[in-house]
Amino acid sequence: MYGTRVAVLGAGIVGAACARELALAGLEVTVVDRGAAASATTAHGEGNVLVSDKGPGPELELAQFSRRLWPQVLDTIAERSGRAADAVEWEPKGGIVVATTDAGARELVRFAAAQRAAGVRAEVLDADGLAEAEPYVTPAHTAALHYPQDAQVQPAAAAAALLGDALAAGATLGTGREVLGAVTRGGRLTGIRTSAGLLEADLFVNAAGPWAGELAARLGAPVDVRPRRGDILVTTPLPPMVFHKVYDADYVGAVGSSAEELQTSAVVESTRGGSVLIGSSRRRVGFDDRLRPEVLSVVAAKALRLFPTLAGVPVMRAYGGFRPYVPDHLPVIGADPRLAGLWHASGHEGAGIGLSVGTARLLRCLILGEPTDMDATPFRVDRPAVLGEHAHPANGARPASSAHSASSGRPASSASPAGSAHPASSAHPASEETA
Ligand SMILES: Cc1cc2nc3c(=O)[nH]c(=O)nc-3n(C[C@H](O)[C@H](O)[C@H](O)COP(=O)(O)OP(=O)(O)OC[C@H]3O[C@@H](n4cnc5c(N)ncnc54)[C@H](O)[C@@H]3O)c2cc1C
């Protein structure tokens, strides 16, 4: 495979991590993005590297794998550039989940027991332990769990550092270059038409985040990846008052829900600069990027229940982004069975920062035909959630050949409602050339 030309389509954290792995493996990597590197979803979320919000199943396994990889990846980045590694703001600070109702406490304890059986460290905190760990958290809690494996990064800096490694290993980056359509030869993807001309390669990796569905449709092989909006409030820099990633026990249910309507829960964390990030919300509203006061006010109210002392702090701004959502809440990682030469690395929803490095390692092993560190089949492209009712047969999708049941393992996850396909109408048909 040495010298194989790979085009990574999308320079968010997932594309950056994939470019790094493939360039370090000796492949000839070109990364293209219609915007700037790390300027889309990766710059519009938070930077939690979590195991605490995932129940037993393939997503938790990928999170545990990624959590093991992050320190190793950062060590190699530090060897190249201490400054780049430092900018990532890696903080293995741990997470704390707090229940404020009896029902929430029961569910949290049950969930943690299942996680422990899957190798997650989840330690019960009594009232004194919680007060010591988080002195400003509400005393009106019914249970609290400490997850020491949870960590945090600055996402855009993490993506830049991963991309920096890729470039140092010989990759090239073309920004301001939109992927418009495919060039195929003998049923194989051999090139892409971009706003800056034709780009030929042996392999193409769709790492277009929430636009992965749209980009895949442009290449003639649509996948069902859609946007799921989330908004965050940012305080001015504050004296230290939040020491872990702290969230209410409802969060796990909100993450696992497939509902289109607004889901909110309190998620609070500080950053190295002193600002506190207050989330989180989930809405399926297409690519509507308007900030909604009714969403922000619910998010703020829930955060105040968790941290009453936040009531008096100034909020300096709010922002939001689009999580890349797949109806079964699992990422899409692997070769496209319909179009030779096309690979996918997308659909990480609210966990793409944490999962990026594990995804990239899996993709590298799959491309090189090497054994993978974990079972990658739950993420494969030809599963019903990816090629099911929302894929567009007219654009090349075929029904999944061998149905494989996969689940994110979260509680309260429900089937996606029908009839809400993302618009793939901007598809540019593939042009076929004969050799
Ligand atoms: C509010 C919020 C909070 C979040 N918090 C966390 C968190 O704490 N922890 C966590 O792990 N994850 C979190 N996430 C999720 C995480 O941000 C995403 O999963 C991750 O950033 C996805 O990265 P990506 O590289 O796949 O996508 P992106 O960063 O969106 O990158 C995709 C790139 O593809 C490019 N592109 C798209 N279409 C084309 C085209 N046609 N041609 C060329 N280029 C194209 C885009 O310009 C973009 O740069 C959060 C997300 C949100 C919205």
In a domain, 54, yes or no: no
Q: How far apart are CA 373 and CA 354, in angstroms?
A: 17
Which pTM does this prediction carry? Answer: 0.91
* Band of pLDDT at residue 2, cut at 50, 70 and 90: low
* Band of pLDDT at residue 137, cut at 50, 70 and 90: very high
Res 390: pLDDT: 58
- Counting from 1 in the atom list of ligand 1, the atom nearest the Cα of 37 is 49
pLDDT by residue (tens digit) across 188-219?
999 999 999 999 999 999 999 999 999 999 99
- Counting from 1 in the atom list of ligand 1, the atom nearest the Cα of 229 is 53
Residues 161 and 305 in one domain: no
Q: Is 213 in the pocket of ligand 1 (CB under 6 A)?
A: no
Determine phi and psi for 58, rounding to 5 degrees.
-65, -35
Tell me which of 323, 345, 366 is where a domain ends. 323
- Counting from 1 in the atom list of ligand 1, the atom nearest the Cα of 280 is 1
Residues 250 and 202 in one domain: no
pLDDT by residue (tens digit) across 83-93?
999 999 999 99
Q: How far apart are CA 410 and CA 433, in angstroms?
A: 45
- Counting from 1 in the atom list of ligand 1, the atom nearest the Cα of 16 is 25
In a domain, 67, yes or no: no
C-alpha 291, offset from chain centre: 21
Residue 354: pLDDT over 80: yes
Q: Which of 46, 62, 204, 342 to mutate to test the pocket of ligand 1 (most atoms within 8 A of CB)?
A: 46
Q: How far is the CA of 13 from the centre of ligand 1 (A)?
A: 7
Question: Once rounded to an integer, what is the mean pLDDT over residues 53-81?
Answer: 98
Q: For ligand 1, atom 53, name the residue with the nearest CA.
A: 321
Q: For ligand 1, atom 24, name the residue with the nearest CA.
A: 209
Q: Is 95 in the pocket of ligand 1 (CB under 6 A)?
A: no
Q: Is 331 in the pocket of ligand 1 (CB under 6 A)?
A: no
Query: For residues 423 and 19, which has the higher predicted lDDT (pLDDT)?
Result: 19
pLDDT by residue (tens digit) across 328-351?
999 999 999 999 999 999 999 999
Q: How far is the CA of 309 from the centre of ligand 1 (A)?
A: 32
Q: DSSP labels for 170-228?
A: T-EEE-S--EEEEEEETTEEEEEEETTEEEE-SEEEE--GGGHHHHHHHTT-----EEE
Residues 250 and 114 in one domain: yes
> Which residue is associated with the tokens 């509400």?
138
Q: For ligand 1, atom 6, name the residue with the nearest CA.
A: 46
Res 253: pLDDT: 66
Measured between alpha carbons, how far apart are the two ends of the chain, in Å?
22
Residue 245: pLDDT over 70: yes
Residues 140 and 176 in one domain: no
Q: How far is the CA of 102 from the centre of ligand 1 (A)?
A: 36
The parent domain of residue 260 ranges over 95-148+227-323
Residue 421: pLDDT over 90: no
Split into its structural domains, the chain has a count of: 2
In a domain, 300, yes or no: yes
Q: Is 34 in the pocket of ligand 1 (CB under 6 A)?
A: yes
Tell me which of 273, 292, 323 is where a domain ends. 323
Q: How far is the CA of 42 from the centre of ligand 1 (A)?
A: 4
Residues 171 and 304 in one domain: no
Q: What's at 63, amino acid-wise?
A: A
CATH number, domain of 231, equals: 3.30.9.10
Specify burial of residue 243 (Cβ count, 10 A radius: 0-12, 13-18, 19+).
Answer: middle
Q: Is 232 in the pocket of ligand 1 (CB under 6 A)?
A: yes
Two tokens, residue 89 = 């703001």
In a domain, 76, yes or no: no
Residues 347 and 415 in one domain: yes
Sign of CA dihedral 396, 34, 204, 191: positive
Q: For ligand 1, atom 19, name the residue with the nearest CA.
A: 352
Q: How far is the CA of 172 from the centre of ligand 1 (A)?
A: 20
